[in-house]
Structure 1
Amino acid sequence: MLEEIKYLSVQLPEDIRRQLEAGYFSKAVKLINRRLEGELPRALRKCLELQKAQLPIWEAEYPVSYEEALAVLCLNIRDFTGEEFEDLIEQGVFDWIYSDGKMYFIRTFYENLLKVRHPVTDRLAVPQKPEEQEEKQAVLNRNMNDMKEQGGNAYRIHIRSTLKVKGEEDAGDRITVHLPIPNAGTQVRKIRLIGIPTDAVIAPEGFESRTVCFQRPYIKGDTFTVEYEYENHVAYTEPDPGMVEAKQPDFCLEEQAPHILYTPFIRSLYEEVVGEETNPLLKARKIYDYITLNVRYSYVRKYSIIRNIAEYAGINQKGDCGIQALLFITLCRYGGVPARWQSGLFAAPYDIGGHDWAQFYVAPYGWLFADLSFGGSSHRAGNEERRRFYFGNLDPFRMPANSAFQHEFTPPKKHMRQDPTDNQYGECEYGHRALKADEYEIKHEILEICRIPWEGEKR
């Protein structure tokens, strides 16, 4: 099923593309249906089928009208004006689309202002609590200092994830649920699954997109729970460009349509950012610096309706953690530096939630980390030391469930996933259809997190 995602890189017919850009979705569907009735090249047929399936997601992601968005901003920001709203739109602060010719804004448009602490938020009617930000900064800074002093850090983390299905009309139908669990890799060890039913299918520890899979008849209000404990041991490294070996590996350099492609834009951006540099470590450093200093963090629509994620980041100069990571991976691979995806949960004493980051390989150091969004947030906080730390290093507050991008589950799903690129919050399907994201909810809880002796050697 995931193999078909590559067809999103096929160009849409011009008449359909124009209707979509203007937000006339019903007219676009009509045109798509007419095209699908005739003979078409396989790649174009698959592209149109995927585009048609995505249209309800577009409408769900952008539910806020212009008037509603302005009202929210006026309510929450003192003395906010319509002129300011227009100026912020022109600055590209808000993500919006046309729907039937009118502007509609992404569901997270206001939360995005708060997340990036845009200057306009200095006038919030109810100011944010600075102590919450200070606590987060303190935890990350303390970990960075500890890792530098002792060569690494380690935590034991105990998490419970619960998925609840909301509907009742499909009661009795067979349901399949995949929930993410830790993937043994660069930093994770001693994984212990707790209370998993004997009939559940558990993917192997090193599987690229690791899950526990439940399959049973659905009962109204059904819940599915996984609980696990693991240790995260992360070494601190200061890779030296002078120690980089002449011979480098050639794995993890391939394109992966539709999101990791060496398009003319990617090639041009690479030449502009990296120039004549030949040292692979310095190539990766230049790419990291460019993204963390120039691509601002922003909430975005679902990845399933972005046609090329890496290009989206480079062209729009914005994106969330995964979008920034994909741009880094794509540019590294194009430049001959092996790079790959890693994602799952950020699980710290103060927070838990989905997160994506990257790894890149430089001999003799092996796989190194790059967290572009944490590097960028450190830059916004004025902490250059921490921004540089997240090139080559990672904090131990992670639950990596995925070590590859756009990877199939085991057992594989029959229907297209809500997120075909990644898995942080689980996926559900009945025999006859996939469940939409609003038909189930998932809660991640940290039951225990404690620092333990780091078992490693200074790199």
Structure 2
Amino acid sequence: MKNEAFVHLTDALPPDIARRKAMGDLEGAKRLIDLRLSAAGQPELAERLMVERLRLERLPRDYPYDRAQALTMIRAEWPGCSEEQFDGLVDAGRIDWRMIGSVPHYHERFLESLRLYPAQAPGLHQEHTDQTERELTLERLRDAGALTARITLRAGIRARTDPAGREVQAWLPIPAACPQQSEIQILDATPGGVCAPEDAPQRTIWWKSRGRDAFTVTYRYLHRAVYIDPLTIRPSRVQPSFDLEEQWPHVVFTPYLRALAERLTDGLSSPVEKARSLYDYVTGYVDYRYQPAYLQLDDIADTCARELRGDCGVFALLFITLCRIVGIPARWQSGLAVRPDSVGPHDWAMFFIAPHGWLWADCSYGSSARRQGQVQRRRHYFGNLDPWRMVANSEFYAPLTPPMPGWRQDPYDNQRGELMVDGRGLDDPERECTQELLSFELL
């Protein structure tokens, strides 16, 4: 399958292609890739080159604004923003950019990233999120020891153009069996949908049809959050040996990450203390910044540790990689964050401490709590989550059911769904995905 080729992102590009990409000559880089793919003698490079060509095709969508456009967008809200201030925000890593057409272009959500840091971008309109209900829910969870939510959601995906007469395949994520979820029910779905097994690593409902342009599924499930203070666990002397391996291309034990993990856990013997030190570093030093499609990212964990910027999945992969380096089993979990008033994609991590078992770490929420001065909330998300979730995925970079033969929009995770027409996977501009909360009840 095509998407298996992403493991080759760890292979270096030929220097002439890498130089073209670095200078923003995307067309030149694609031309050199095509020349190499058409020539004999380097079949070992073919998958790496095909993946890179796809990334070059999609890159301009993630970084659509040149400098003049970006400044105009900022000044529409913050008229006094000078070019020097703009450059300072770029230099500080608050604005993400890539070279396209030999000039810098800026991330499509750079304004949303800037709004998170009012001290550095004081002229922008700030989006305040009321955390009162979350704080009350977390307090109730800590007091009660556990909370269960009954949640009903409807998800959909459709093509933006009419696929009449063509073969269409669609995959939508649905709740998976996991420690937090039970009583999973499919209440309604577009006819013909086939559900993957409840323990599928990326669980979906799948359709194959001709000419249909839209697919929906409605499901209900129980999601249970259990509270524990991880620091009260007395770890077993011998810890398990599963979920400790590298998983290319993004869980890689680079020399930098090995050195970082060694420094952060130096002198610590308890795996709980080690995990807490890693969590404190990730949530204390990495700031949230919206990311391009993960397809565009290289060596996610190492890059995050060097840039100290990331989104929820990037935070999770860094924590998972550091845990595995120091011998703590860790793995991925993702799906949706389901607030009573909103639904959206979210990722987090799991780590294992014997004899207790699996614990959770939401480093993105922990970093957000640090940014907002919420010490208790930051502590909560080391070891614990909340009942506002839908878990669809238990592995990063796992196949769908059945595997998608065309290029996926996201080859690593599946939170909003995938759509394929006549064997070609559709990218974001070609499709529309929805998640709608129908009911939310804390039991």
Aligned to 1:158: 152
| Alpha-carbon separation, structure 2, partners of 1:61 and 1:242 | 44
Cα deviation per residue 1:292-314 (whole Å; 9 max; x = unaligned)? 00000010111001121111211
Structure 1 residue 242: deviation in Å? 6.0
Mapped partners of 1:52, 1:151: distance in 2? 50
Instruction: Give the residue type in structure 1 aligned to 2:104.
Output: M
CA distance in 2, matches of 1:100, 1:223: 36
* Alignment of 1:365 onto 2:363: no
**CA shift at 1:38, angstroms?**
2.7
Task: Give the aligned partner of residue 54 of structure 2.
Answer: 53
Q: Does 1:65 align with 2:71?
A: no
Cα distance, 1:60 vs. partner?
1.3
In structure 1, give the amino acid aligned to 2:96.
D
Q: Give 2:141's match in structure 1, choosing from 143, 147, 152.
A: 147
**How far apart are 1:117 and its partner, in Å?**
3.2
- Match status 1:194 vs 2:180: no
Aligned amino acid, residue 235 of structure 1: V
Is the CA contact 2:157–2:419 (under 8 Å) kept in the aligned structure 1?
Answer: no
2:294 to 303, 306, 324: 303
What amino acid does structure 2 have at the position aligned with 1:279?
S
d(CA) in 2 for partners of 1:195, 1:86: 51
1:442 is displaced (CA, Å) by: 1.1
Residue matched to 2:176: 183
Which deviates the most, 314-323 or 303-312? 303-312
In structure 2, what residue type is equivalent to 1:103? P
Distance 1:367 1:47 in 2: 36
Tell me which residue corresponds to 1:102: 103
Contact 1:239 1:365 in 2 (8 A): no
Q: What secondary structure is seen at the aligned counterpart in 1 of 2:403?
A: coil
CA distance in 1, matches of 2:88, 2:424: 43
Give how far 1:332 is off.
Answer: 0.6
Alpha-carbon distance change, 196 to 118 in structure 1, aligned in 2, over 3 angstroms: same
Distance 2:231 2:111 in 1: 42
Q: Does 1:237 align with 2:228?
A: yes
Once residues 10 and 430 of structure 1 are traced to their aligned partners in structure 2, the CA distance between those partners, rounded to angstroms, is 30
Deviations 1:253-303 (A, max 9, x none): 111111011111211221222223232111111110000000000101110
The residue type equivalent to 1:32 in the other structure is I
Take 1:152 and 1:79, find their aligned partners in 2: how far apart are those partners?
A: 50
Secondary structure at the counterpart of residue 301 of structure 1 = coil
TM-score with structure 2 length normalisation?
0.97
Residues 62 and 293 in structure 2, CA contact (< 8 A), matched pair in contact too = yes
Q: 2:209 aligns with which of 212, 216, 220?
A: 216
The 2-side partners of 1:24 and 1:18 are apart by: 9
Contact in 2 for aligned 1:7/1:43 (Cα 8 Å): no
SS at match of 1:122: coil
Give 1:197 shift: 4.8
Gapped regions of structure 2 (runs ≥ 5) = none
Aligned to 2:317: 326
**Would you say the 8 A contact 1:180–1:212 is kept in 2?**
yes
Q: Distance in 2 between matches of 1:342 and 1:177?
A: 22
Q: In the aligned structure 1, how far is the partner of 2:192 from the partner of 2:42?
A: 43
Decide whether aligned partners of structure 1 residues 92 and 240 sit closer, same or farther in structure 2, where only a CA change above 3 A counts: closer
Identity value in percent: 37
TM-score by length of 1: 0.94
Contact 2:256–2:302 (CA under 8 A) maintained in structure 1: yes
Are residues 1:123 and 2:123 paired? Answer: yes
Shift of 1:446: 0.5
What SS does the aligned partner of 1:119 have?
coil
Cα 1:138–1:40 change in 2 (3 A) is farther
Structure 1 residue corresponding to 2:413, chosen from 396, 399, 422: 422
Secondary structure of 1:243's aligned partner: coil
State whether residues 69 and 105 of structure 1, in contact with CA within 8 Å, keep that contact through their aligned partners in structure 2.
yes
Instruction: Give the CA deviation at 1:80.
Output: 1.4
User: What is the aligned partner in structure 2 of residue 456 from structure 1?
Assistant: none
Distance 2:6 2:370 in 1: 35
Task: Look up the equivalent residue of 1:261 and give its one-letter code.
Answer: V
Deviates more, 1:142-151 or 1:198-207: 198-207
Structure 1 contact 241–279 (Cα < 8 Å) conserved:
no
Q: How does 1:408-419 map to 2 (within 5 A)?
A: 408-419=399-410
Indicate the residue corresponding to 1:457 in structure 2: none
Closer/same/farther in 2, CA of residues 48 and 275 from structure 1, 3 Å limit? same
- Are the structure 2 counterparts of residues 217 and 274 from structure 1 closer, same or farther at C-alpha, using a change threshold of 3 Å? same
After TM superposition, give the deviation of residue 43 of structure 1 in Å: 3.5
Deviation at 1:61, TM superposition (A): 0.9
Judge which range, 258-267 or 385-394, deviates more. 258-267
Q: Secondary structure at the match of 1:123?
A: coil
Deviation at 1:37, TM superposition (A): 2.6
Q: Using a 3 Å threshold, how does the CA distance of structure 1 residues 40 and 311 change in structure 2: closer, same or farther?
A: farther
Per-residue deviation, 1:379: 0.6
CA contact 1:158–1:446 (8 Å) conserved in 2: yes
Letter of the 1:104 counterpart: H
Q: Contact between 1:343 and 1:357, CA under 8 Å: does it hold in 2?
A: yes
Matched, 1:289 2:280: yes
Q: 1: CA distance between counterparts of 2:43 and 2:238?
A: 41
Instruction: State how far apart, in whole Å, the 1-side matches of 2:155 and 2:209 are.
Output: 18
What is the alpha-carbon distance in structure 2 between the residues aligned to residue 43 and residue 229 of structure 1? 46
2:100 aligned partner, one-letter code: S
- Whole-angstrom CA distance in 2 between matches of 1:378 and 1:3: 36
Per-residue displacement from partner, 1:34-64 (whole Å, max 9, x unpaired)? 2223334444221111111211111111110
Residues 372 and 82 (structure 1), Cα distance of their counterparts in 2 relative to 1, 3 Å cut: same
Q: Deviations over 1:162-221 (max 9, x none)?
A: 2121112x42111000000001101001111112356311011111100000111124xx
2:63–2:97 Cα contact (<8 Å) kept: yes
1:258 paired with 2:249, answer yes
Give me the CA root mean square deviation: 1.4
Residue 382 of structure 2 corresponds to residue 394 of structure 1: no
Shift in Å, 1:92: 1.5
Q: Secondary structure at the match of 2:189?
A: coil
Compared CA separation, residues 40 and 370, structure 1 to 2 (3 A): farther
Secondary structure at 2:242 match in 1: coil
- Paired residue type of 2:197: P
Residue 242 to residue 445, structure 1, CA distance change in 2 (3 Å): closer
